[in-house]
Amino acid sequence: MSLLSDFPRQQKERADRVAVTTTTSRGGTASLSPPTGPGLDRRPKRPPSPRLTRRRSEAIKLRRSLTFLGMSVLLPGSAQMAAGNRAVGRVSLRIWAGLWGLAVVAVIFGLVWPAGAVAVFTAGPVLVVIQIGMVLVGLGWVVLLLDAWRISRPPELAPRHRLLVACVNLVVVGAAVTGLVAAASVISTQRDLVSSVFAGGGDRVAKNGRYNILLLGGDAGKDRVGLRPDSLTVASVDAETGRTVLIGLPRNMERVPFPESSPLHKAFPDGFFCTDRSCLLNAVYTYAMNHRELYPGVANPGAQATTEAVEGAIGLEINYWVLVDLRGFEQLVDAVGGITMDVYRRVPIGGGHAKLYGYVEAGRQRHLNGYEALWFARSRSDSSDYDRMVRQKCVVNAMLDQLDPVTVLTKFNAIAAAGKEILATNIPAGDLDRMVELALAAKKLPLSSVNLVPPLVDPAQPDFGFVRQTVATKIDTAGRPRSSTSASAPAGGGQPSATHSRGPEADDLTQVCAA
């Protein structure tokens, strides 16, 4: 009885599960639609097509290949770890972590003690070790990249994906090899620069607490026989503080005396003078180069003789000389990205007996490229040699202000390439750290300057006693506030000059060069 009594209810439930849609119209028919709603469609789902399955499998394998490659780029050895080769993976990851640790230590070392970093990273044996290490690490990295391609099982990839992964791997390996070659080139260039330019020969002992460095700006133009210094400046640097005094000597100074120890003292006991008035200070270089027998065993007799002449003129012992060929100065300025400085007057580019090509326009904080900086420093048109000496010191001041360690490191290859072509010096590589330390200290202090030019000194009839006294006084008072009476020149010399004028003397070149 219970089964029969339950039958109507079961029929009702079955009817409730079926949605009956009756569409009636005149002459129409009734139709039934399949059941709808959540959980009511109990028909078995069709399996995905083989084509869709194959595409999904190909996408997974492609992602795996690219993931292994990316892991090898960012963390060399991690792909091998993921693929099961834990021994190779651990060693590679440890080496990679160690290299990053060394890089961080090197950066901190360079920031905390730049001079020490220069001493370490310019030493020949250290550079050799770094170069060999970089080659080995680079080769190992390339091997890991190729192994990452192997463990991604290229034969299992779809043909189009196989070509894509192979191309991406080749690009990444090529980039790694290019970086390796570039890094090795930087190290090789640095080694070559240090060994060829900084060969040594200077006097490493400070003189009365100062390092005196003769800066020669040479110009071996097509219309000249040999190289003649167009600018001669002595940078006298305090060995403790870095406070620097720039002493400018005119290239046309006559009767320059040589110390008794100089080979030229016998030839010119009364000073460098010729009856035709051609024996000027800048001609000493050429004379000595044409009489090399006077300086046996000296690599650069011209620089050595000019150093001796300057010592006789100003009464300072010179530690080092640095010769910069002005033909390559443009390249050096461009290598550091140009210089930003005040241009206090409009300066012609060309002019005089040559074609006028334009002007270096005056203005505050102008960014000059190498071409403009060179012409601002050397242009003679519409100017005097003495104004030219001021402009040259302004360029030196701007270069010193902008050559920070970051600039040198990031643009080292370009600077080194320019320096090798235009730079000669007797500073030994072992003293580079000391020179860098002094240069960084000098950046923090104003530069003082004295130019031995009219009205202070008459280049044709110079009083060298007065010259030496002026230099000694300037060095002694550098950094001290000037009194109202000290602005005047000593008796027997030139005329008074304002502290911040563009006259012969200045206590702060930044103010002198201001537009």
Question: Tokens for 481?
Answer: 């506030």
Q: Which of 183, 101, 82 is nearest to 136 (CA)?
A: 183
Claim to verify: residue 282 and residue 411 sit in the same structural domain? yes
- What is the tens place of the pLDDT at every residue in 60-110? 888 988 999 999 999 999 999 998 889 999 999 999 999 999 999 998 988
Say which residues have a Cβ less than 8 Å from residue 133's Cβ, sequence separation at least 6.
none
- What is the tens place of the pLDDT at every residue in 350-397? 877 778 889 999 999 999 999 999 899 888 887 777 788 888 888 878
Please report whether residue 16 resides in a domain. no
Claim to verify: residue 216 and residue 167 sit in the same structural domain? no
Claim to verify: residue 215 and residue 318 sit in the same structural domain? yes
Domain that holds residue 257: 210-512
Please report whether residue 248 resides in a domain. yes
Claim to verify: residue 346 and residue 438 sit in the same structural domain? yes
CA 124 from chain centre, in angstroms, equals 20
Q: Which of 29, 476, 497 is nearest to 209 (CA)?
A: 476
- What pLDDT shows up at residue 40? 52
Claim to verify: residue 184 and residue 131 sit in the same structural domain? yes
- What pLDDT shows up at residue 309? 97
Does residue 19 surpass a pLDDT of 50?
no
Claim to verify: residue 166 and residue 280 sit in the same structural domain? no
Give the H or E element holding residue 450. strand 448-451
Percent over 70 (pLDDT), the chain = 79
Please report whether residue 25 resides in a domain. no
Which of 88-97, 327-336, 440-449 has the highest average model confidence (pLDDT)? 88-97
Give the relative orientation of helices 301-314 and 464-477 as an angle to the nearest 10 degrees. Answer: 80
Give the relative orientation of helices 124-151 and 86-112 as an angle to the nearest 10 degrees. Answer: 150
Please report whether residue 381 resides in a domain. yes
Contact between 61 and 157 (Cβ < 8 Å):
yes
Does residue 116 surpass a pLDDT of 50?
yes
Please report whether residue 33 resides in a domain. no
Q: Of 139, 172, 197, at which residue does a domain stop?
A: 197
Claim to verify: residue 228 and residue 113 sit in the same structural domain? no
- pLDDT band of residue 10 (cuts 50, 70, 90) is low
Claim to verify: residue 352 and residue 314 sit in the same structural domain? yes
Claim to verify: residue 187 and residue 266 sit in the same structural domain? no
Give the relative orientation of helices 385-402 and 370-378 as an angle to the nearest 10 degrees. Answer: 140
Q: Of 197, 229, 255, at which residue does a domain stop?
A: 197
User: Stretch 171-190: mean pLDDT, rounded?
Assistant: 84
CA angle at 142 for the pair 136 and 143, rounded to the nearest 5°: 90
Does residue 115 surpass a pLDDT of 60?
yes
User: How far is CA 52 from each of CA 64, 112, 152, 154, 225, rounded to the nearest angstrom?
Assistant: 19, 61, 22, 21, 82
Say which residues have a Cβ less than 8 Å from residue 475's Cβ, sequence separation at least 6.
210, 236, 245
Q: How far apart are the two ends of the chain, measured CA to CA in Å?
A: 118
User: Residue 454 sits in a domain of what CATH number?
Assistant: 3.40.630.190
Q: Of 173, 197, 221, at which residue does a domain stop?
A: 197
pTM, two decimal places: 0.67
d(CA 467, CA 456): 9
Mean pLDDT of the chain, nearest integer: 81
Sign of the four-CA dihedral 269, 270, 272, 276: negative
Claim to verify: residue 360 and residue 230 sit in the same structural domain? yes
Please report whether residue 333 resides in a domain. yes
- pLDDT band of residue 255 (cuts 50, 70, 90) is very high
Count the domains in the chain. 2
413 vs 338, higher pLDDT:
338
Claim to verify: residue 325 and residue 425 sit in the same structural domain? yes
User: Stretch 429-450: mean pLDDT, rounded?
Assistant: 84
Please report whether residue 214 resides in a domain. yes
Claim to verify: residue 121 and residue 219 sit in the same structural domain? no
d(CA 309, CA 284): 8
What is the DSSP annotation of 179-248? HHHHHHHHHHHHHHHHHHHBB--S--S-BTTEEEEEEEEEE--TTSSS-EEEEEEEEEEETTT--EEEEE
Please report whether residue 20 resides in a domain. no
Least trusted range by pLDDT, from 146-155, 290-299, 319-328 = 319-328
Does residue 262 surpass a pLDDT of 70?
yes
